[in-house]
Structures are given as C-alpha cells and as structure tokens.
Amino acid sequence: MNVSKKTAVAVCIVMSVFLLVGTAFAAKPKGTAEKEEGVYTIGMIVKNLGNPFFEACERGAKEAAAELGDKIIFTGPDVPTAEGQIALIDSFIAQRVDVIAPVANDPDALIPVCNKARNAGINVVAWNSPMTSEGVDIYVDNPTAESLGRIEVQMLADLIDYEGEFAILSAAATMPNQNLFIEWMKEELKLPKYSKMKFVGTVYGDDLREKSYNEAMGLFKSYPNLKGIISPTTVGIAATARALEDEGLSGKIELTGLGLPSEMAEYIKSGTCGKMALFNPVDQGYLSVYASHTIASGEIEGNVGETFSAGRMGEFEIVEVKGQAPSIIMGEPFIFDAGNIDEWKDVY
C-alpha cells in the first residue's frame, strides 16, 4: 500500500466516522436549547458589517429587544453580497431562530433561502430594502417619498417665513427617488399657505460634489432674489452648503433638504443649513424588532389591514404597497437641527 492510498483510506475512515456520529446524534431530540415561552430570538442580517448606519439600527433593535425581553442576533456578511447573507440565513435556520430579518443585498437571490426558512416555521421580516411576498411575510419600509417630499417644503417654509423665491438642487434628472420627492414637493406647494413662495426652477448636480457646487454657484448668480434652496440629495446639500459659505451667503439664502448628519454637522451648527431631514436608523431598528416580535407571537399574521403597537413609536398598520410584501411604513422622517445634531453626527 503506497502512501497516498493509505492517506486516502485514512481520510475516508475519518469522514465516515464523522458522518456516523453525526447520524447518531441526529436522532437526538432538539431539546438542547429549550425555548422560553414568550421569548423570541430574532436574527437580523444587514448589508455588511462596519456600516455606521446599521450600527445605529442595532442600537434601536437592542432597545426594542430589551423592552420586549427578546434575544437579538445582529450580524452581516463581511462584504455586501447575497451569497454571504444566504450563508447567514442558513445558519439561522439551523439555529431555529423565531424570526429572520434581512436587509437584502439582492432581494431576488434571498427568495429561495427565505422560503426554506418559512417552510421550517420561521417568520421572515424584511426591512430597509424592499422584498416581495414571494420571500417574506412583511416588510418594514422607510418613510415614503410623499412624507420625505412634503417635509422638505415644510422645513423651508419655516426657515424663510413662507415668503420668497426658492430653487431645487437635485441629483441627476433620471433618478427616480429624487424625481418622486420633487413631485411631492410640488404637490405640497399647492396648499394655500405657500402662496407667497415662488418656485423658480430645478438644477441637477448629478450627485457629484464638483458639479453640485458649480450648479449652486450658478443659482446664486441667476436668481439674485433667491431666499432658499432645497436639495433632496445628501451630496447636493453638502455641496450647496459649502458654496453658500464660500460665497458668504450663509444666512441670506436658507438651505434645507435630505442630508447625512455626519457630513452636515458643521453647516447646521454654523447656521448655513437651518434644518434637514432623513429617516432615523435607530427607529428603524426598533420598529423592525417590534414587527418581528408581533409576527412571531402570532399577534399579527402579516395581512394588510392588521395593526400592532410598537412601544414608544405608537400604533402601526400593515398597508399594501405595489411591488412589496405587506408593508409597515415608518411614519415621518426625522428632522435634524442645531439642537440635536451633536447626538447624531457620530451616528451616521
């Protein structure tokens, strides 16, 4: 018997012993980790680890879990791929968690493994990134485009006392999100209280810092009476804020929109940007855990029209949104101003 043959035999023996032991233990009842009544294990999978946005979500998720007495496993793959998330979902299925709550990197690729989980009696609750009812029971949605659009007009009106010219500095003309926001802004402007506000036009910075900066400069020149700018994109609002400060127009032209606290903190503190909005990741984690808990306990089944209470965030109703599983809409966007920006600037 030569060496490689011996090794092959030895390897085979080891593998078969291993499999036999495995089979022997397979018969063992799964009572090793007995479940406590009313305590649910929720496995949350984010896009990838090390993302400050999701670290903020984790804080909210842990807060909700502490209130409900649930157990949270918060994890994600090392790179944002669907394959990594599938492996994690597989391990959650093996651990017999009660709910799996993924933020899908690829909604389609998670469908088979999510259905495997559902067949094993595990509820699947998607959040932050939409999935259809093919794969999940319910989806905890971000605030709607409607609320994000309307609130931007409300914030600006508040900053310029409902009077004067204003422009919009958007991302690219083709971006569906921003276009939707702008449509809702126009809808909000139809209300009589905005009658003295004049919308002069939209420019596009293509979500590039340099171009957005130049477009903002162009606005200052084209509209000498400009009182305000709305920028419904995180890149645009930061570039506009810098342009305003460079030109010494801070305070003369008011700025608002959707921005990241970490990028905007200095401009909010200096008063260049009076206030801005975005949704609150802590609340998103909190709400997702409450939704997971209520569906695991059987309080709701995940049908449109059902309602449930989510602790400090109040009552929520499951609604129908086209192209999504029955959805829970996370209510109003969160407003950042000089009063609260310090808490948030390190969060995301």
Partner 1 sequence: MNAEIGKKKNVFFRRWEWYLVILIIFVNIVNVYLSPYYLNMTNLMDMTFNFMEKGFIVLIMAYIMISANIDISVASNIAMSSVVMSVLYQSGFNIWLAVLSGLCTGAAGGLLNGLIVTRFRLSSVVVTLGTYSLYRGISFLILGDKAVTKFPEGFSYVGQGYILNSPVPFQLVVFVVIAVLFILILHKTTFGRYVYSIGTNEEACRYSGVKVDRIKVILFTLSGFLSAFSGVFLTSRIGVSRPSIALNYELEIITIVVLGGVSMYGGKGTMAGVILALFLVGMLRYGLSLKNVPANMILIIIGLILICSAIIPNVVYGVRKRSEFRKEI
| Interacting residues with partner 1 (CB under 8 A) | 3-4, 6-8, 10-11, 14-15, 18-19, 21-23, 25-26, 28, 30, 32-33, 49-50, 73, 75-79, 81-84, 86-88, 90-91, 93-96, 106, 108-109, 111-113
Q: How far is the CB of 26 from partner 1 (least distance, A)?
A: 3
Bridge partners of residue 308, in order along the sequence: 316
CA dist., res. 219 & res. 206, Å (int): 15
Nearest 10 degrees: Cα torsion 172, 201, 264, 174: -10
Secondary structure string (H, E, C) spanning 237-280 = HHHHHHHHHHCCCECCEEEEEECCHHHHHHHHHHCCECEEEECC
Q: How far is the CB of 322 from partner 1 (least distance, A)?
A: 18
Nearer to partner 1, 21 or 173 (CB): 21
Bridge partners of residue 229, in order along the sequence: 167, 255
Whether 291 contacts 68, CB under 8 Å? no
- Cβ-based neighbours of 239, under 8 Å, separated by 6 or more: 205, 209, 210, 212, 213, 216
Nearer to partner 1, 49 or 208 (CB): 49
Q: Which amino acid is at 224?
A: P
Nearer to partner 1, 124 or 203 (CB): 124
Whether 173 contacts 139, CB under 8 Å? no
Nearer to partner 1, 94 or 314 (CB): 94
Q: How far is the CB of 152 from partner 1 (least distance, A)?
A: 28
Nearer to partner 1, 44 or 229 (CB): 44
Q: How far is the CB of 11 from partner 1 (least distance, A)?
A: 5
Q: How far is the CB of 106 from partner 1 (least distance, A)?
A: 6
Nearer to partner 1, 96 or 252 (CB): 96
